[in-house]
Amino acid sequence: MSNYVIIVIILTYLAVLFFIAFLAERKKKSKWVNNPYVYTLSLAVYCSAWTYYGSIGIAANTGIDFLPIYLGPVIAAPLWIIVLRKVIRISNQNKISSIADFISLRYGNNRFLGALVTVVCLFGTIPYISLQLKAVSETFEIMSDNTSYILTNTFHDSTFYVALILAIFATFFGTQNADASEKHTGIIATVAFESVLKLVFFLVIGIYITFYLFDGTTDIYNQIATIDNLKELTTLSGLEDGFNWLFMISLSFMAIFLLPRQFQVSVLENNREKYLKKAIWLFPLYLLVFNIFVIFIAWAGKITFGDDVNAEYYTLYLPLEQGNSFLATLVFLGGFSAVISMVVVSTLALSTMVSNNLIIPYGFLEKFIRSQTERNERYIKNIRRISIFSIIIIAYFFYISFSRELSLYSIGLISFTIIAQLAPSFFIGLFWNRGSSKGAIIGIILGFFITVYTLILPFTLAAYSGTDDFTQYGLYGIAALKPYALFGIDFLSPPAHAFFWSILFNLLAYLFFSLMFKGNYRERNYAEMFVDSRNFSALQDSALVWKGEAYVADIKTMLVRFLGEKKATRALKLFFTKYKLPVDTQLADARLINFSEKLLTGSIGSASAKILIDSVVKEEQISLTEVLRILEESKENIVSNKMLLEKSDELSQLSSKLKDANEELVNKDKQKDEFLDTVAHELKTPITGIRAATELLMDEEDDMPKEIKKQFLTNILQDSDRLGRLINNILDFEKLETGRLSLDMRSLDIQETIKKAVANTQHIAAKKGIKIQIKNVHHFEIKYDEDRILQVFTNLISNAIKFCEPESGNIEIDYKLGNEVLEIAVIDNGKGIPAEDIAYVFDKFYQSQHQNTIKPEGSGLGLAITKQIIEKHKGKIWADKTVKTGAKFVFTLPISYIV
């Protein structure tokens, strides 16, 4: 096929891709470009020319060793739900534009770390892109009938032009928007399309070779079994191979997360988290299907060509051998598809990193601050365009210098090993908040240099010096420093060996320096946000640890420079509305600083955004003690919450007390009603007696006998007395209860008062045949109101008389000096007080609650009045519970009243 025909085919194909990208960009919101299948197919950017051609080479030469590169992603896929979802969430919230941005933000927006990651990614990706160029160039050569197409002059090398075309394509779609965190719908659509093409074409050629050229898989197997050392190719031999496999699987496991192009498609271009659910099984399936025919194509090639041609291109040689140039063209296009999607996405990702994490923060920032919006946007886009071009051109020269000698497979592994250096700071940083920027930086640098020493240096030195002394004898001839057998470990393949040592030192350095040196407040703040991403937005918005001063006007000027007047004003308006702040707010708060940083991050990367914002913010250094103080404050909040809880407990206790009090009041009310009822009843009883007797006496028609008349008159008298007594008691009680009674305190002899009381009650007692004795004969002069104390004695004695049996009843009155009191007792040998009533006897409602014990003489107020009188004298009264028979009432009068 003529070169020109091939060029025309390439251009036509590119035109189709342009058209698809253009269409997708126009219908950004359409379901055709926003679905889990497009997302999953875009992930298949993983399958580059390396997969398309390289796998077959490996399969032909070393058997199933090509598999670990796919097993890693297959193992990783289920973990996406946890890891990738977290990464996507954090990236969306922060407008992350690359993996460099992501890692540098995790470690406190560290500018140097961002640049370092960018450099690592450049070193990791440029050989990878050169691998793609090599594949295009070599397949071009195979397809072309002009075998001497490689000219010494670059400008006559078609590979160079292919590279240029790729660069133009990537530039055109990759730099549509200055905000790199915007989705690249067009590119993703073409990537998905290409993923379908490369898979279909690969399957077509697989089926063609297996079932058309050969008689199925068994036929190939049988044929290869006769000519080759098959066993060696299909089995793992021993522990050493096991280690190789393990390390290769780990390597590809990391690569699926960390390769800039994978980060671009899986994280940055992800529209919805739920797409992951489909991708976790569909993507492994894609890889599986892709690899079905690899081994058979390799064997078929081996059977057909032996070792005459490059095994990597069996898929082209086999149909061409049969004269089927159509099928070969399809295969070529499939490979070209794999190349173009890898190159475009990789350069897009890298150019963003180069501009946002390398060039802008380290050089152009000063210039940006001074210039105008439109120019800034143009500058940013131009930096990216130049980056894309430069990267592809550098990759081209890398290809020219080294790649011709290296296989696709080994170049791919170099890339993987370099990129894997990001693994400790990326993975551990997601789940361990102690991981610090120092640890990350030192780990990455150390790992990178070990990789360079053990993997890159050998072949570059060999390429320049033409000898492999370095590989053979080690640095300065020291055996322990042999690049492929560091410290005597010589059983691993060079990539596995490099991976093992670099990751080991990287990891140890990361852990060691993270534990040794804590990050500053800012770093730890971000670490906390990444590790605890669910609380992320809350933390981000409240921005706990920020202390500084900035004017809204300054921030706005800054935003206008990068986003334009319209966008900046709208963004600020949204911000003020969201947080309900007045539009004329003068001083910016932490939230506005964060918000502005996020806004700018999309355009210029997080590190640059931070530097820019810092330039207008007078941010004070926050010391550790201040952080602790802030934490202390939140602890205080917790404490005050506790206090609130206690307070509410107190309140509920108080309310229950109130409830009790209310119940008591209700109860008292009820008691008062009952008391009034009782009083009314007690008043009505003598009145009823008087009324009835009077009525009978007044009946003139009745001839009433004289004795009965006299009896009725006596009854009337008795009832009148009772009425009078009752009324006096009620009045007394009321006076005592309301405290309106004043005592007439005089110094008197208690003996005399008792004698008077006994004299007053003697006639009632005598009637019942009850004796009253005064046991103590001593005279005590104390101060009291005699009338009231007489009332007390009368009450107690009449009570005793009431409950004593006639004739046998005996009442004793005794007194003695107690502890600063005179203790007086009235003791009887009556029926006593029931145990259940003893608590109530002084209750004014005692009668109403136990009305069955009412005696006609009682008012129900006697003991209640007695108690009031004693208490008024500052004494106490009680019924002695210990007495076995009868009742014993004891009351005290303070001896301070003794004269």
Partner 1 sequence: MMYKILIVDDEPNIVMSLEYAFKKKGFEVFIARDGSEVISIVENTVPDIILLDIMMPNIDGYQTLKLIKSKKSLEATKIAFLTAKNKASDIEKGLKLGADKYLIKPFSVKKIVSEILELLE
Residues that bind partner 1 (CB under 8 A): 677, 680-681, 684-689, 691-693, 695-696, 702, 708, 711-712, 715, 718-719, 851-856
CB nearer to partner 1: pick between 567 and 681: 681
Handedness of CA 493, 499, 504, 509 (dihedral sign): positive
Secondary structure percentages of the chain, helix, strand, coil, to 5: 75, 5, 20
Q: How far is the CB of 803 from partner 1 (least distance, A)?
A: 13
- Cβ proximity to partner 1: between 720 and 810 the closer is 720
Q: Are strands 877-879 and 888-894 parallel, antiparallel or unpaired?
A: antiparallel
Least Cβ distance, residue 732 to partner 1 (angstroms): 23
Of the pair 380, 679, the CB lying nearest partner 1 is at: 679
Both structure tokens of 760? 């007053």
Q: Name which of 672 and 755 has its Cβ closer to partner 1.
A: 672
For residue 506 the two structure tokens come to: 């990287």
260 close to 99: Cβ distance less than 8 angstroms: yes
Helix (H, G, I), strand (E, B) or coil at 269: coil
Contacts of 783 (CB under 8 A, 6+ apart): 745, 746, 747, 748, 897, 898, 899
Secondary structure (DSSP) of 177-208: -S-TTS--HHHHHHHHHHHHHHHHHHHHHHHI
Contact 599, 564 (CB under 8 A): no
Residue closer to partner 1 (CB basis): 685 or 849: 685
Q: How far is the CB of 856 from partner 1 (least distance, A)?
A: 6
Least distance from C-beta 855 to partner 1, angstroms?
Answer: 7
Rounded CA-CA distance 534/538 in Å is 9
Taking the least distance from each CB to partner 1, the nearer of 232 and 695 is 695
Q: Which residues are CB-neighbours of 166 under 8 A, at least 6 positions away?
A: 339, 340, 343, 344, 347, 392
For the CB of residue 832, give the shortest distance to partner 1 in the complex, in Å.
17
Q: Please, what is the minimum distance in Å from the beta carbon of residue 690 to partner 1?
A: 8
CB closer to partner 1, 152 vs 852: 852
- Minimum Å distance from CB 722 to partner 1? 9
The CB-of-713 to partner 1 minimum distance in angstroms stands at: 11
Give kind and range of the element (H or E) at residue 891.
strand 888-894
DSSP-assigned beta bridge partners for residue 879: 889
Distant-in-sequence, close-in-space partners of 791: CB < 8 Å, separation ≥ 6:
732, 865, 866, 869
Residue 495 or 686: the one with the smaller Cβ distance to partner 1 is: 686
Report the 10 Å Cβ neighbour count for 348: 29
Find out whether 72 and 253 touch, Cβ atoms under 8 Å.
Answer: yes
Smaller CB distance to partner 1: residue 225 or 680?
A: 680
Minimum distance from residue 679 beta carbon to partner 1 (Å):
11
> Of 235 and 688, which CB lies nearer to partner 1 in the complex structure?
688
- CB-nearer residue toward partner 1: 570 or 855: 855
Q: Toward partner 1, which CB reaches closer, 635 or 691? A: 691
Nearest residue (CB) to partner 1, 578 versus 855: 855
For partner 1, the closer of residues 709 and 783 by Cβ is 709
Of the two residues 335 and 860, which places its CB atom closer to partner 1 in the complex? 860
What minimum distance in Å lies between the beta carbon of 669 and partner 1? 16
In whole angstroms, give the CA distance from residue 415 to residue 121.
9
Tell me how far apart the alpha carbons of residues 135 and 459 are, in angstroms, rounded to a whole number. Answer: 19
User: Closest approach of Cβ 756 to partner 1, in Å?
Assistant: 30
Q: What are the tokens at 618?
A: 């007078």
Residue 851 CB, shortest distance to partner 1, in Å, is: 6
At its nearest, how many Å lie between partner 1 and the CB of residue 786?
33
Closer of 386 and 683 to partner 1 (Cβ): 683
- CB of residue 692 to partner 1, shortest distance in Å: 4
Cβ–Cβ < 8 Å for 757, 794: yes
DSSP 739: T
Number of CB atoms found within 10 A of residue 468's CB: 12
List the structure tokens of 17.
């891709």
The nearest distance, CB 749 to partner 1, in angstroms, is 40
CB 693 → partner 1: shortest distance, Å? 5
- Estimate to the nearest angstrom the gap between the alpha carbon of 379 and the chain centroid: 40
Question: In angstroms, what is the C-alpha Rg of the chain?
Answer: 52
| Of 806 and 856, CB closest to partner 1 | 856
Beta bridge partners of 773: 812
Nearest-approach distance from CB 684 to partner 1, in angstroms: 4
**CA-to-CA distance for 559 and 600, rounded, in angstroms?**
7
Helix pair 99-106, 521-531: axis angle to 10 deg: 120
Alpha carbon of 699 to those of 269, 691, 715: distances in Å? 119, 13, 17
Q: How far is the CB of 823 from partner 1 (least distance, A)?
A: 33
Contact 466, 139 (CB under 8 A): no
Residue 652 structure tokens:
């509920």
Tokens matching residue 745: 């305190």
HSE (CB half, 13 Å, CA atoms) of 223?
19
Crossing angle for the helix pair 111-143 and 325-353, nearest 10 degrees? Answer: 160
Nearest C-alpha neighbor of 860 from the set 593, 682, 661, 652? 682
Which backbone phi and psi does 61 adopt, to 5 degrees?
-95, -40
**CB 279 within 8 Å of CB 80:** yes
Bridge-based pairing of strands 771-774 and 548-549 is unpaired
Termini Cα distance of the chain: 142
CA distance 554 to 558: 6
Which one, 374 or 702, has the nearer CB to partner 1?
A: 702
